[in-house]
Amino acid sequence: MKTNNILLKFILGAYLVVFFGYLLGPLVVMSITAFNSPSFPKLTPWECLTFEWFDVLAHDERILNGIENSFVIGIGTVILSVIMGLAGALLLTQIWPKLRATYYTIVIAPILIPGVVLGISTLVFWDRMSIMLGMSSGGILHNGIFLTILGQSTFIASYCMLVFIARLQRFDTGLTEAALDLGATQVQAFRKILLPFMKPAIGSAAVLAFLASFENYNTTTFTFGKYPTLTIELAQKVRYGINPSISALAFIIIALTILGALAHEIYRRRQQLALANGAPVAAVSGGFQLPKFFRGNPAAIILVLLALGGASTIWFAQSYSPNACKMDVREQKQLLQQERIKAIREKRQLEQQQKQHQGPDVFSGSKSGSPATQSPGKGAFGNVFAPGNLDKSGPAAKPDEPAKSPGKGAFGDVFSPKNLDQAAPKED
Amino acid sequence: MTKGVDVDLENVWIRFGDFVAVREANVNIKGGEFFSFLGPSGCGKTTILRSVSGFLEPSEGTVRIGGRDMTGIGPNKRPTALIFQNLALFPLMKIWENITFSMEVKGASKAERRKRADELLEMIALPDQGEKLPSELSGGQKQRVAIARALCAEPDVLLLDEPLSALDLKLRQHMRTELREIQQRVGITFIYITHDQGEALTMSDNVAVMRAGVVDQIGSGHTVYNDPATPFVASFVGENNVFRGKVKSIDGDMALISTNRTGELLARIATTAQGTLKVGDPAMLFVRPEALNIAPDITPAPNRFAAMVKHEEFEGQIYNVFLEGSEGKEIKMSLVNIGTERQSAEGMNLTLEYVPEQAVVLPAGELASE
Ligand SMILES: Nc1ncnc2c1ncn2[C@@H]1O[C@H](COP(=O)(O)OP(=O)(O)OP(=O)(O)O)[C@@H](O)[C@H]1O
Ligand SMILES: [Mg+2]
């Protein structure tokens, strides 16, 4: 039994590691590539810690413009979706009970319809409308921001409605009746009783709507017109090759998300504590509550550590300059290239010598067993030209080389177009 | 404070689809009166109250408040204030804001509202609690806040829907007297709903007893208790021993009933049945446990019957004796504890008697199910 338990725990632990690795791994990798200097997002040949990609990002007009459009559209979508969602949810509570199920199905349907379809239909519908109304093609009905807000709101409003329905189910309609009974008008009862009750749900729905709008691609791609959002810009960028400034953007988004989650968690905890103590919220916002909040929540500790890490990174970025490191890397690269050039030169010399000798067979039989004979593959060159071997390789080994190395790899490396390009100017 | 006004229900029917929740209710409630609707759960009490406060329109008939027809007038325009079965205090508002909500919606200034709230908090003996939230008060305190909130609206009629049902016995008894005091102080009409007959009898000037949507009887507590109009009222208000049988003879307002199991018994015909009850009609005879006594001798008489003591319950002030009459008929007798030795013991055969004027005869009908 006991070993069974240990085994179970082990499996569970391994599962958790794999699971979280799967969930968070890509994010971590992407974030790290934002700080590596190569111009393609890479993790493994770690070259230099750099913050230049944030700089690049900050000067990328298209990305900045995309972010701006995303914000404008996000805010528009939040306003429209929250209002429509709230109205839809309220109608559900008022509607004739027999119609309720049908109504619910209809208003939830947009969530189930593919976003692509919503995008196309928004475009087509408003195009028709604009023609019917006799508007010019530059009119508001063809405006990308207007269309995107409408298109996204068709389904985001349904999400909001679900949030509101959940909250409304806990509303005691007796409270509205009590307000009416005490002389309030319907509007006053709504504003003073129902709306304050819905406030937390409105907040959640707004955040949800904004995030859904910000990350939307498939509906937006049909409606954005002249106003590409961030997701559209990113998708277009990827088509023409990316650089780590995208990782930098990802890092910023992840960091903001974590900070937001942290702030929300702290707020929620305080609310909970306040409820548990039956005291007003203000009473528990003292500093002494914070440790309690941590005790109960390891995730919060990790979040705080991450936040601290982020803050210290930013501070570090102010004082650190990657130039020295970059120079090093450049030097190393140059060294490597010079070695390769050397190798190529030597090889050419060899070839020429061979042609002069015209008798490689004599040497091929020799038992001197140079490393090249034993390792025909890619390694051939590496070994032959390793600094150690170079010194030793006397004239005896030289004729041996071309005859015995059958591997394509030997030349492949040297003559790969990239290397040739780099090597060429240096040769002169 | 405003003087209380009359509330009249004229031939009021309330239907939900095919279901009739209230059937032909005719009730006249006088201004400044403490009036109760008493009836078992689901008999339509809340429904009647909601039609008075304006949350639902009667399917037929009219509701008048102060002589004015209320048809088509919404709850926020009626001079009523309702205290809900679950109180319905606004959970997100402070106590003082709750109390003065009716002033807030009329646009009263904050200073005005605070002042009024302090007065009312004083009245309900909760000074200095104005800054709390409803969730921070005890059940009885919430109760009083709900009353203050309703009174703050200065209604002509205060409607109370079982406001004490959530409280424990001790607090309930305390709140009863408090409510009665408040009513006498402010002098407005109180319409009170309860399924607790003790509550109805102690507080009310008049009681309407309801059964499944029908108002069976309206009268003072005394009348309803001593002179019930239907077997339902007789069995629902207080306790009663019921003897079923047929009318054998009638002499003035007295009737001799030949009961199914207990022989012939004599009793007064209830006021509502006088003149209509005829010889041979199926009838019911009701004798209250406290009207029964141990007869001094065993001479048979039409106000006497035999029974065997099964067990007793001592309650201090009185003791209840449970007996078995002929053919297994269950009988309950309450004897006042006058300090002498107990006159009965288990297994003892007794002859019980009652004053015939204290027992009532009614045409047979539906009883309240225990
Ligand atoms: N909105 C409604 N739709 C359909 N039936 C209803 C509705 N409201 C009440 N009823 C029915 O009317 C009857 C009377 O209900 P009501 O709420 O008046 O009872 P009540 O006397 O107040 O009972 P309780 O003492 O349990 O509060 C019940 O049978 C109830 O099922
Ligand atoms: Mg009720």
Residue B2 inside a domain? The answer is no
Of residues A328 and B95, which shows the higher confidence score?
A: B95
Residue A235 inside a domain? The answer is yes
Residue nearest to atom 28 of ligand 1 (CA): B42
Percent of chain B residues topping a pLDDT of 70: 98
User: What is the C-alpha to C-alpha distance for residues A404 and A420, in angstroms, rounded to an integer?
Assistant: 24
Same domain, B237 and B218: no
Same domain, A262 and A183: no
> What token pair was written down for B282?
């199926």
Measured in whole angstroms, the distance separating CA A177 from the mean position of its chain's CA atoms is: 49
Same domain, B190 and B327: no
Put simply, the answer to whether A180 touches B106 (Cβ < 8 Å) is: no
Same domain, A181 and A233: yes
Residue nearest to atom 31 of ligand 1 (CA): B42
Q: How many residue pairs from chains A and B have C-beta atoms closer than 8 A?
A: 61
Lookup result for tokens 């929540």? A297
**Tens-digit pLDDT profile for residues B135-175:** 999 888 898 899 899 989 989 999 999 888 777 788 788 88
Same domain, A308 and A219: no
Residue B370 inside a domain? The answer is no
> What is the reported pTM?
0.69
**Tens-digit pLDDT profile for residues B211-222:** 999 999 999 999
Same domain, B159 and B215: yes
Same domain, B249 and B293: yes
Residue A390 inside a domain? The answer is no
User: What is the C-alpha to C-alpha distance for residues A12 and B80, in angstroms, rounded to an integer?
Assistant: 64
Same domain, A139 and A150: yes
Rounded mean pLDDT of B30-37? 92
> What token pair was written down for A168?
């409304």
Put simply, the answer to whether A181 touches B104 (Cβ < 8 Å) is: no
> What token pair was written down for B190?
């109180």
**Tens-digit pLDDT profile for residues A370-413:** 444 444 444 444 444 444 444 444 444 444 444 444 444 444 44
Domain boundary residue among B226, B254, B288? B226
The pLDDT confidence band at residue A142, using thresholds 50, 70 and 90, is confident
3-state secondary structure B205-259: CEEEEEECCEEEEEECHHHHHHCCCCHHHHHHCCCCEEEEEEEEEEECCEEEEEE
The pLDDT confidence band at residue B30, using thresholds 50, 70 and 90, is very high
Residue B368 inside a domain? The answer is no
User: Shortest CB distance from A174 goes to which of B54, B88, B101?
Assistant: B88
Same domain, B164 and B253: no
Ligand nearest to the backbone CA of B208: 1
User: What is the C-alpha to C-alpha distance for residues A191 and A197, in angstroms, rounded to an integer?
Assistant: 10
Tell me whether residue B129 is exposed, middle or buried, using C-beta atoms within 10 angstroms of its C-beta: 0 to 12, 13 to 18, 19 or more.
middle
User: What is the C-alpha to C-alpha distance for residues B319 and B335, in angstroms, rounded to an integer?
Assistant: 5
Tally of residues, chain A: 428
Same domain, A263 and A162: no
Helices (H), A113-194: 115-132, 144-168, 173-181, 186-189
* β-sheet with B189-194: strand ranges across: B80-83, B157-161, B189-194, B34-38, B206-211, B214-219
Residue A1 inside a domain? The answer is no
Percent of chain A residues topping a pLDDT of 90: 17
* CATH code, domain carrying B216: 3.40.50.300
The pLDDT confidence band at residue A296, using thresholds 50, 70 and 90, is low
Same domain, A105 and A183: yes
Which chain A residue lies closest to B136 (C-alpha atoms)? A278
Given this model, what pLDDT does residue B206 score? 94
Same domain, A123 and A139: yes
Average pLDDT, chain A: 75
Q: Which residues of B touch A (CB under 8 A)?
A: 53-55, 74-76, 80-82, 84, 86, 88, 90-92, 101-102, 104-106, 133, 135-136, 149-150, 153
Residue A198 inside a domain? The answer is yes
Residue A127 inside a domain? The answer is yes
Put simply, the answer to whether A182 touches B53 (Cβ < 8 Å) is: no
Put simply, the answer to whether B82 touches A181 (Cβ < 8 Å) is: yes
Same domain, A207 and A237: yes
Q: Indicate the number of domains in chain B.
A: 2
Q: Which residues of chain A have a CB within 8 Å of the CB of B150?
A: 182
The pLDDT confidence band at residue B109, using thresholds 50, 70 and 90, is very high
Of residues A4 and A396, which shows the higher confidence score?
A: A4
The pick from B13, B46, B159 for probing ligand 1's pocket by mutation, whose C-beta has the most ligand atoms within 8 angstroms, reads B46
Q: Which residues of chain B have a CB within 8 Å of the CB of A280?
A: 133
**Tens-digit pLDDT profile for residues A39-64:** 777 777 777 767 777 777 777 788 88
The pLDDT confidence band at residue A236, using thresholds 50, 70 and 90, is confident
Put simply, the answer to whether B101 touches A185 (Cβ < 8 Å) is: no
Domain boundary residue among B226, B243, B264? B226
Residue nearest to atom 20 of ligand 1 (CA): B42
Of residues A353 and A357, which shows the higher confidence score?
A: A353
Put simply, the answer to whether B76 touches A278 (Cβ < 8 Å) is: no
User: What is the C-alpha to C-alpha distance for residues A382 and A336, in angstroms, rounded to an integer?
Assistant: 12
Which chain A residue lies closest to B88 (C-alpha atoms)? A175
For residue A210, the enclosing domain spans 59-242
**Tens-digit pLDDT profile for residues B12-25:** 999 998 999 999 99
Same domain, B218 and B249: no
Same domain, A127 and A255: no
Residue A41 inside a domain? The answer is no
Residue B211 inside a domain? The answer is yes
**Tens-digit pLDDT profile for residues A250-273:** 888 888 888 888 888 888 888 887
**Lowest-confidence range among A198-212, A351-365, B152-166?**
A351-365
Put simply, the answer to whether A188 touches B105 (Cβ < 8 Å) is: yes
Distance A42 CA to ligand 2 centre (A): 71
Strand B19-29 and strand B7-16: pairing? antiparallel
Given this model, what pLDDT does residue A363 score? 47
Residue A73 inside a domain? The answer is yes
For residue B307, the enclosing domain spans 231-363
The H-or-E segment that residue A259 falls in is helix A245-277
User: Shortest CB distance from B153 goes to which of A174, A183, A185?
Assistant: A183
Lookup result for tokens 């037929």? B60
The pLDDT confidence band at residue A331, using thresholds 50, 70 and 90, is confident
Residue A29 inside a domain? The answer is no
Residue nearest to atom 14 of ligand 1 (CA): B44
The pLDDT confidence band at residue A358, using thresholds 50, 70 and 90, is low
Pocket of ligand 1 (CB under 6 A): B 16, 19, 21, 39, 41-47, 195
